[in-house]
């Protein structure tokens, strides 16, 4: 079972599944995990480490970095809502 984690396409499938979960459930937490799995797939495709614990730690670190980057990116965007400070009924 541990041999499955060392295949790049398993990580791509996990990224796709997490992307679908992101679309179906409210919130934006699974997108960071999907990007972390995609980054792990790229690393496994280029350099295939046999240590599963190293792969899971790499996935955790990449997911955290992706989540923090997405949080910083989406926080900068404005919703375009206007803040009303004066009531139109007051005179």
pLDDT on residue 91: 62
pLDDT on residue 16: 96
| CB environment 6-27: b (16+ within 10 A), e (fewer) | eeeebbbebbeebbeebeeeee
SS3 content of the chain, % helix, strand, coil (to 5): 70, 0, 30
Q: Which long-range contacts (CB under 8 A, 24 or more apart) does 64-72 make?
A: 64/32, 64/36, 65/36, 66/31, 66/32, 66/33, 66/35, 66/36, 66/39, 67/29, 67/31, 67/32, 67/33, 67/36, 68/32, 70/28, 70/31, 70/32, 70/35
21-60 per-position pLDDT tens digit: 999 997 778 999 999 999 999 999 998 777 889 999 999 9
Q: What is the pTM of this model?
A: 0.77
pLDDT on residue 78: 64
- Domain borders along the chain are 2-76
pLDDT on residue 87: 81
pLDDT on residue 18: 95
């Amino acid at each position: 079972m541990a041999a499955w984690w060392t295949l790049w396409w398993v990580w791509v499938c996990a990224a796709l599944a997490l992307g679908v979960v992101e679309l179906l459930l409210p919130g934006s937490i699974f997108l960071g995990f999907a990007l972390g799995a995609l980054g792990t797939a790229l690393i496994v495709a280029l350099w295939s480490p046999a240590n599963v614990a190293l792969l899971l730690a790499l996935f955790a670190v990449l997911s955290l970095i992706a989540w923090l980057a997405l949080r910083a990116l989406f926080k900068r965007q404005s919703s375009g809502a206007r803040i009303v400070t004066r009531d139109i009924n007051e005179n």
